[in-house]
Amino acid sequence: MMYKNTFKLLFANYSKVWKVFAYLLFAVAFIVGLAVACGFPIYNTLLKAGMFTELGDIYADFLNKLNLHVFIASVGEWVADFVGVIFSNIDTLLVYIILLAVVVFVFGSLIVGLYKFAYTDNINYFMNSSVNTPFTSALITNSGRNALYQLFNLLILQPINLSITILIVLALNFINDANILWLAPMAAVLIYSFLTSLKITLFGGWVPAMVVKNYGVIKGLKENFRVCTRRFFYTFSSAFALTLTVMFVNIFGGLCTFGVGLIFTLPASICAVCVFNIVAYYTNIGQRYYTDANNVCAPIRQEFTDQFNKHKYII
């Protein structure tokens, strides 16, 4: 039900996907411009040290030999050389490194992630009353709480995202046999889907709780943990199915259209995850909602079930 209703709501509000896409283009372009300005001295230092030429050689060698184990080892050596070049020029680059880190990881996360609240707020209004609300006004209205949420997101969820990436790289490092190299992409997709689905299940209700019940960041996080324990495995399996769908649509859509299809699939995928989060939240608290202009979904009131389970042994 969560999986099916996610796509019903996504397509019923598909015009919002393009607004999210336009916002992300503007935000990413703005951050990249700032990053280039802050990182240009770092780029010149790395260019003079031949780091980009070395990286190109590593990639060309991988294409020729298709040896994933050697490729990962070579990238590890390149990273060590990269760190060595940076530290040998740290006196002149330190200020630019700090500026670049602040722009990309702090300011970038803050600006790029602002769409989540606005889009979730739009979907929430539609689910409640089948009414479409403006994306821009939602972006402005929720800017205060949104900015605070992004700071907490930077401290809590970004390390989790980094950990997922590291775990995937470590797992792929075990695939060093050329005969089973074709399993590497499939293994990466499955590991990423499993861990991302777990993250969605555990933290996906954070923004919906803040939007639906007008909670602050801390209270919204507490509400998220309270709700995510309900129907945990059902939510996780639905999230896993969604994540796999999103991954395969983007992979095959990108490959079949030489990357052009990603213009359509990536924004829709980002929005689909936001829709799933609020659908899962509504389902887990047992709140009725519109799936389109003519149909209403009425989940079981989980509060009643919890109350019954709490008191059924008293008699």
Q: Where are the domains of the chain?
A: 2-311
Structure tokens, 11: 């397509």
The pLDDT of residue 6: 94
What span, in angstroms and rounded, lies between the C-alpha atoms of 262 and 260? 5
The pLDDT of residue 5: 93
What span, in angstroms and rounded, lies between the C-alpha atoms of 282 and 56? 48
Burial class (CB in 10 A: 0-12, 13-18, 19+), 83: exposed
The pLDDT of residue 206: 94
The pLDDT of residue 307: 53
10-residue mean pLDDT series, the chain (315 residues): 91 92 92 88 86 85 75 83 87 87 84 89 91 86 83 88 86 67 79 94 94 92 90 93 93 81 90 95 91 82 52 48
What span, in angstroms and rounded, lies between the C-alpha atoms of 301 and 239? 21
What span, in angstroms and rounded, lies between the C-alpha atoms of 232 and 250? 27
The pLDDT of residue 180: 62
Handedness of CA 109, 110, 115, 120 (dihedral sign): positive
